Structure 1
Amino acid sequence: MRTKIRYVATALGLSATLALVGCAATAPEGGSGSGSAPTSIVIDTAFTLETADPGRNYVPTGYMVSKALYETLLDFAGSDESTAVPGLASYTQNDDATVFTFTLADGRVFSDGTPVTADDVVFSLNRVKGMTESKANFLMEGIEVAKVDDKTVELSTATPSLKLPALMTNPSLAILNSKVVIENGGTTDNSDAAEKFLNGTSAGSGPYILDSLSVESQVVLTGNEKYNGAEDIDFDRVVIRNVSESATQKMNLEGGDSQVAVDLSGDQVAGLSGGVSVTSGPSAQTIFLLLNQNPEIAGVTANPEFASAVRYALDYPKLLELAGAGSEQATGVIPPSFLGALTDGVKQDLAASKAALAKSGYAGETITLEYPNDYPVGGVSFTPLAERIQSQLADAGITIALAPAPFTTQIDEYVNGREAFSIWFWGPDYADSANFLPFQAGAKVGLRAGWTAEMAPSIVELATAAETATSMEAREGAFSDFATALQKQGPFVPLIVPGSNIATADYITGVNYNSTWTMDIAELQAK
């Protein structure tokens, strides 16, 4: 799971942060839409940044940077992640969804003017596939890459893979200038030594080039003079700063010291002063309750009726009040923006809850609810959420004791399946519903809940049907059936899809939330 929240890095004090940027950007008079917009901007976000090497990247800030510097075979249009559109290439597929043929667009070049060719595609994709130590390596699992001619590449899989077009939008699979990267240590196996080079300069065809990189403090991007793609950038210099505190991001934006704040909560955007615009909407994360199905670990929570009792005891609109702008009730494990997501979520039904509780064998014992207490997701803090769940379950006759712990402590217990009852979250690694198949019995998240394949063979069959569908119509129906079945018998109770709130100076338009790269910097425009 790659989480879509920002890991807290060392906080920069406001004065230190501004000193790092200097005069990188100057807002119009009054910090609003008056006067002429600057040609450079500052973006504040809490860094999850490890490298500028796209093939080794697997974190949100890194994806935002890679998206600006490099291009992928396919892309998404604006905030629509339902269908991949041409990027560096267009594609066709066979009827079995096992062979995908990509044809490169004419005339595209890298930042040094070198033409983008099929050899660059083959090298870039095989580099990620061959670097098994890379966190992004799994994206190429089961995919074979073959050059057809200088403009054409064929990707093939042993089984149907309608998720493959979405995979080809992921910035980890960006196309690199193979000649330059090979000259600087690039290979297609674990001997690759090009990361140091790629941390100092970019080797892509994107609208920006890398000026400087500090994974602790800031990244500076400048316009790519050789860029000949579809984007028409308004800001030729972009400074991305590590500002870990969202309150500081808010203060910087309101004071005109930055022009974009990425990590504001729903409450914070509601209190913003004038001269600021906000783009809000549901993110791609799901906050859920886990009820372990292993009787040796969980006791009564392992009874499926107990999960039903919890599911129908909760007042979901009241829980949603804690999430703020942009958030929605989780209608299932698949968030609303993805194929197969359910239209309606569970509604509170105390009578159904108490009936299920009576069948579960629950005898009034205290159940411990575990959760990380220092790791808000999309502005949602788990402590008030846990307290409200505790109160609502008490109304259904279930006694809950809260057991908060730091994330670093709690994550081990969760990953190793040792929690009986807990609050957790899940975010996609790429924009496709296949990201949520790990919730099936016997898969990664299912096993964290002690839920083996033998316990729910029908769920496994539904997941397999979704994974191997060869038409979008069949695929949507299969994912919907999978999500519906999980709501009825799974050990998970989806709660909230937190909001994404990106605030900008009000002369900036073009903010489009994306579940992988958060936003495309090149799409930001000045009014």
Structure 2
Amino acid sequence: MLSTLRKSAIALGAVALLAITGCSGGNSANNSGDGSNAAGGSLVIDTAFSVETADPGHSYDPTGNMLAKAIYETLVDFKGSDVSTPIPGLASWEANDGATEFTFTLEEGRVFSDGSPIEAKDVVFSLQRIQGMADAKPNFLLTGVTIEEVDATTIRFTTETPLLQLPAILANPALGIVNSDVVIENGGTTDGTDTAQKFLDGTSAGSGPFVLDTLDLSSQIVLTANEEYNGDEEPAFDRVVIRNVSESATQLANLKGGDSMVAMDLNGDQVAGLGDGLTVDSVPSGQTIFLLLNQSSEIAGDLADVKLAEGIRYALDYPALLELAGAGSVQATGVIPPGFEGALPEGVTQDLDRAKAAFAEAGYTGQTLKLQFPNDYPVGGVEFTPLAERIQAQLKDAGVNVELAPAPFATELDAYVNGTEGFGLWFWGPDYADSANFLPFGPGLKVGLRSGWAADANPEIAGLAAGAASATDPEQRTAAFTAFAEAMQAEGPFVPMIVPGRNIATSDQVTGAVYNSVWEMDIAEITPAD
């Protein structure tokens, strides 16, 4: 077993960033019958969609994670609003002292939505399927992890290096367990030739409290209660409708008008005075809104220089940017958000002299920077268009010309993921409750490569990231993450700006809407208020 000291290291890397907390109405999302929301009725949730599929193996977006959490269960879970300590989900576990071998034992009697038992073979298939799909977004979560069946109820995980955060990683909804027999019959494989996504976009094959009824990625997703569910999150509603409402003002109007019960993307100004009958709690999210400056000369040309990023870091007026974020938001102090292990105590303060010196060193002579960003997906209520406009104005005052290039989320996501943005405005949220989640900003790693930043561009920071990832001693681990965060603020191609507040507003007809930095919200926890 992990010693108490080593177990606490997992909690040190986590933070409880949680709190209880398109189209408008008149469509099929309306409440049942008399408009009441008693158990057995319909729950209506408004959010700005960031979802591409209902297949957990391919899902890696905020709305997609919330959907997967409702339909599929994971080996590991968190209790309510506490993400500091992983707890058993479908399984309990033991680990060796070196955090390189984890043995999971499935809970007895659990079944899938067709009534068939959940077995070790389903776990192994589900996770090896993701490992085998090179294009699967959650594929990187299981890099360097070997998964094998010990017997019908036992699974062994072996890691190439110490991986204290493995239980937290396995709580990610993208690693939900699917019914292997059903998925294999419909094109599922572990060798990279998998074609089951189309099937899983039309029906579900999980054990969660809900099953998929209909999936329309442009308008709404409908779930119904899983009649075979025998876990501890019995759904209180027979039907859940998740609607794509991209404008936070429309979400607010729907909530006030009684056309929805939950609004997930209200901004700070909107929640300042909701009035009677509505409830909201604002907390810092686990997400960071940042700018990236591409370091590939093929993309950025002669402006592929980290000094340009340094100049922009010191050119911005962060308190003025925070005015657009509102309730619950704080300044990002680095690529590791405040509250996580290794986060820096203070963020950058505007220094125009230092900014202009960095611009000169980068060889900036008035070229126009094209700022690309998604214009239809608010993050924690922060609309990117007014934020981009304020960044543009502030950089103009510092002598930098910026052209705004907004695009729909789905379009811009491809450019961001494929690393073709020269200058981008984006956001990053935790995949699991541990500071290791932010190491991908390092050179040669996931987000670093999206900015064209190869490992050999800064071997020192690459080494800091590797050291933080493999540390097992709690004090050494904290020091390693702090050193990484400091180096990234000094020499990285990113400009962390805002940790937005998360405002989940509900009507007085429901209770239990809890924000979670990994899966947004657990729909099964929402119940009628009476």
- Give the superposition deviation at 1:321: 0.8
Judging changes above 3 Å, is the alpha-carbon distance between structure 1 residues 134 and 26 closer, same or farther for their aligned structure 2 residues?
A: farther
The answer to whether the Cα contact below 8 Å between 1:25 and 1:258 also exists between their aligned partners in 2 is no
Secondary structure at the aligned position of 1:113 is classed as: coil
CA distance in 1, matches of 2:450, 2:202: 40
Q: 1:334 aligns with which of 314, 333, 336?
A: 336
Q: Which residue of 2 aligns with 1:117?
A: 119
SS of the residue 2:128 aligns to: helix
User: For the residues of structure 2 that align with 1:261 and 1:180, how far apart are their CA atoms?
Assistant: 35
Where does 1:310-349 land on structure 2 (aligned, <5 Å)?
310-349=312-351
Give the letter aligned to residue 242 of structure 2: I
Matching of residues 147-226 of structure 1 within 5 Å: 147-226=149-228
Amino acid of the residue matched to residue 340 of structure 1? G
Residue matched to 1:49 = 51
In structure 2, how many angstroms separate the alpha carbons of the residues matched to 1:414 and 1:54?
Answer: 21
Q: Work out whether 1:302 is the aligned partner of 2:305.
A: yes
Q: Deviations over 1:132-156 (max 9, x none)?
A: 3433333333221111122210011
Aligned 8 A contact 1:54 1:174 in 2: yes
* Alignment CA distance shift 1:235-1:382 (3 Å): closer
CA positional deviation for 1:515: 2.8
CA offset digits 1:443-467 (Å, max 9, x no partner): 4444555544444322111111012
In the TM superposition, residue 101 of structure 1 has moved relative to its aligned partner by 1.0
Q: Deviations over 1:219-275 (max 9, x none)?
A: 332323332222243323222223333322222111111111122222333353431
Whether 2:95 is the aligned partner of 1:93: answer yes
1:83-123 Cα deviation digits (max 9, x unpaired): 32211111122222221111112332223333322122112
1:426 CA displacement: 3.0
C-alpha distance in 2, partners of 1:22/1:308? 50
Shift of 1:368: 3.7
Task: Find 2:469's aligned residue among 450, 467, 478.
Answer: 467
**Paired residue for 2:14?**
none
8 Å CA contact retained: 1:25, 1:38? no
**Residue in structure 1 matched with residue 6 of structure 2 by the alignment:** none
The answer on whether the counterparts of 1:332 and 1:494 sit within 8 Å (CA) in structure 2 is yes
Is the 1:222–1:238 Cα contact (8 Å) retained in structure 2?
A: yes
**Mapping 1:3-82, distance limit 5 Å:** 11-12=22-23, 14=24, 18-24=26-32, 27-28=35-36, 39-82=41-84
Instruction: Name the counterpart of 1:142.
Output: 144
> Which sections of structure 1, spanning at least 5 residues, go unmatched?
1-10
1:380 counterpart = 2:382 = yes
- Partner in structure 1 of residue 523 of structure 2: 521
The aligned runs of 1:365-404 (5 Å cut-off) are 365=366, 368=369, 370-372=371-373, 374-375=375-376, 377-378=378-379, 379-389=381-391, 392=394, 398-404=398-404
2:373 partner letter: P
Question: 2:246 touches 2:377 (CA, 8 Å); kept in 1?
Answer: no
Cα distance in 1, alignment partners of residues 192 and 360 from structure 2 = 54
- The aligned runs of 1:366-515 (5 Å cut-off) are 368=369, 370-372=371-373, 374-375=375-376, 377-378=378-379, 379-389=381-391, 392=394, 398-407=398-407, 423-447=425-449, 449=451, 451-515=453-517
AA partner of residue 47 (structure 2):
T
Q: CA deviation at 1:52?
A: 2.7
Q: Is the 8 A contact 2:287 2:429 kept in 1?
A: yes
- Structure 1 residue 495: deviation in Å? 1.0
Larger mean CA deviation between 328-337 and 112-121 belongs to 112-121
Cα offset for 1:413?
Answer: 7.2
Give the match for residue 278 of structure 2: 276
SS in 1 for 2:26: helix
Distance 1:112 1:373 in 2: 39
Distance in 2, Cα, partners of 1:373 & 1:69: 28
The offset of 1:365, in angstroms, is: 4.6
Residues 267 and 325, structure 1, Cα contact 8 Å, conserved in 2: yes
CA deviation after TM superposition for structure 1 residue 482, in Å: 0.5
TM-score w.r.t. length of structure 1: 0.84
Which sits farther off after the overlay, 235-244 or 165-174?
Answer: 235-244
Secondary structure (helix, strand or coil) at the match of 1:474 reads helix
| Gap runs ≥5 in structure 2 | 1-21
Secondary structure of the 1:136 match is: helix
1:428 shift after superposition: 3.9
> Aligned residue for 1:8?
none
Given that 1:74 and 1:168 are in contact with CA atoms closer than 8 Å, whether structure 2 keeps it comes out as yes
SS at match of 2:105: strand
Contact 1:26 1:41 in 2 (8 A): no
- C-alpha change, 1:488 and 1:303, in structure 2 (3 Å) is closer
Report the CA distance shift for 1:139/1:260 in structure 2 as closer, same or farther (over 3 A): same
User: Residues 167-210 of structure 1: CA distance to partner in whole angstroms, max 9, x if unpaired?
Assistant: 21122211122233334443333444444543444332212233
Q: Name the CA distance, whole Å, in 2 between partners of 1:218 and 1:358.
A: 46
Read off the aligned partner of 2:305 and give its amino acid letter.
A
Partner residue in 2 for 1:5: none
1:315: how far off? 3.0
Indicate the larger mover: 415-424 or 471-480: 415-424
Task: Tell me how far apart the structure 1 counterparts of residues 248 and 218 of structure 2 sit (CA, whole Å).
Answer: 17
**Secondary structure at 2:63's aligned position in 1?**
helix
Secondary structure of the residue aligned to 2:224 is strand
Tell me how far 1:331 sits from its aligned partner.
0.8
- Where 2:520 maps in the other structure, the secondary structure is coil
Q: Distance in 2 between matches of 1:59 and 1:488?
A: 29
2:471–2:477 CA contact under 8 A, matched in 1: yes
Cα gap change, 1:308 to 1:241, in 2 (>3 Å): closer
What code does the residue aligned with 2:228 have?
K
Q: Which one of the candidate residues 250, 259, 265 is aligned to 2:267?
A: 265
State the SS of the aligned residue for 1:406. Answer: strand
Q: 1:175 to 1:446 in 2, by over 3 A?
A: closer
Change in Cα spacing, 1:248 to 1:298, as seen in structure 2 (3 Å) is: same
Which deviates more from structure 2 when the two are superposed, residues 165-174 or residues 195-204? 195-204
Q: Shift in Å at residue 314 of structure 1? A: 3.4
TM superposition score normalised by structure 2: 0.83
Q: Flag the 1:416–1:336 CA change in 2: closer, same or farther, 3 A.
A: same
> Residue 498 of structure 2: SS of its match in structure 1?
strand
Give, in whole Å, the separation in 2 of the partners of 1:308 and 1:486.
10
- Mapped to 2, the partners of 1:399 and 1:205 lie a distance apart of 56
> Which amino acid letter does the alignment assign opposite residue 81 of structure 1?
V
